[in-house]
Amino acid sequence: MNDELRELLADAVEVARRAGGVLRKHYGKRQNIHFKGEIDLVTDVDRESEALIVDFVQSRYRGHSILAEESKPLEGEGEYRWIIDPLDGTTNYAHGYPFFCVSVAVEKGGEVVVGVVYDPLREECFTGVKGGGAFLNGEPVRVSRIEKLRRALLATGFPYDIRESQETNIDYFEAYARSAQAIRRDGSAALDLCYLACGRFDGFWELKLKPWDTAAGYLIVLEAGGMVTGLSGEPYSIYDGDVLGSNGLIHAQMLEVAESVRRRRS
């Protein structure tokens, strides 16, 4: 790891932990909730956490761009962009369900090179650096060795437009439920990806995600030896909405299930 990446990682970890302190401080208290859509919400804590991260980045990296969930993109100079989810799992947080995190990633020239996901309740900090491996609280992590989909524990989530759109995750959920050992739906794509990276899950898929949902977790999965593609097996970009990740060993089996859903749809 070169000095540049080492510095970016250290700062991403520092600011993710600071923002996590904001989440921990307000957790379990009455929240001021605002709705961005029918079921898509944001709290004042999201905004406080995001403001802390944005201020931190701007103070140390004035030329860097910032893409954050709750505010307009900030275009800087050069090839670096910070991609921020100040509170992934807002619905969980607002209901007192203890599964949420801060996600911070850094792109260089359009490629994610640093990823940090911090769970402030469990004090688990997942990190990944391009070419440098994946870690949980400083200890290396690897994906699982499960080889059969029928023995796999999968994770997923549902899009915010589930009440309006004809393209939901329900048919995929049914197909994978019949093919895997079990499925969990915990409400934070960033943590789902990190759990995949450290072997707690064996596979993950979801539709209609945003870059801040997956940027950090995507890199951490790859650096832990996993595989991430689109639902059709195409190369994945964090700017694509649909994602399928796995330990690599069950990836082809997961793609076959996804293809069977698409065939039934058509």
| Residue that the structure tokens 């064996």 belong to | 202
What pTM was computed for the model? 0.94
Residue 51 has pLDDT above 70, yes or no: yes
For domain 149-265, give the CATH number. Answer: 3.40.190.80
Confidence grade of residue 69 (pLDDT, cut at 50, 70, 90): confident
Computed over every residue of the chain, the mean pLDDT equals 92
Residues of the chain with CATH 3.40.190.80: 149-265
- Number of helices followed by number of strands (H, E) in the chain: 7, 14
Beta carbons of 57 and 66 less than 8 angstroms apart: yes
- Which among 131, 125, 126, 136 has a CA at the least distance from the CA of 113? 131
Per-residue pLDDT of 9-50, as tens digits, reads 999 999 999 999 999 999 976 666 655 544 444 678 889 999
Q: How far apart are CA 21 and CA 169, in angstroms?
A: 33
Q: How far apart are CA 204 and CA 143, in angstroms?
A: 12
HSE-up of residue 247 (Cα within 13 Å, Cβ side): 23
Residue type, 30: R
Q: Which CATH number fits domain 3-140: 3.40.50.720, 3.30.1780.10, 3.30.540.10, 3.90.1150.10?
A: 3.30.540.10
Q: How far apart are CA 204 and CA 194, in angstroms?
A: 10
- What was the pLDDT predicted at 39? 40
| Residue that the structure tokens 């060795």 belong to | 145
Confidence grade of residue 231 (pLDDT, cut at 50, 70, 90): very high
Per-residue pLDDT of 137-169, as tens digits, reads 999 999 999 999 999 999 999 876 566 666 778
* Token pair for 131: 């070419």
- Which among 141, 92, 125 has a CA at the least distance from the CA of 14? 125
- What was the pLDDT predicted at 136? 98
Residues of the chain with CATH 3.30.540.10: 3-140
HSE-up of residue 162 (Cα within 13 Å, Cβ side): 12
> What does the buried/exposed string (b/e) look like for 34-48 if buried means 16 or more CB atoms within 10 Å of the residue's CB?
eeeeeeebbbebbbb
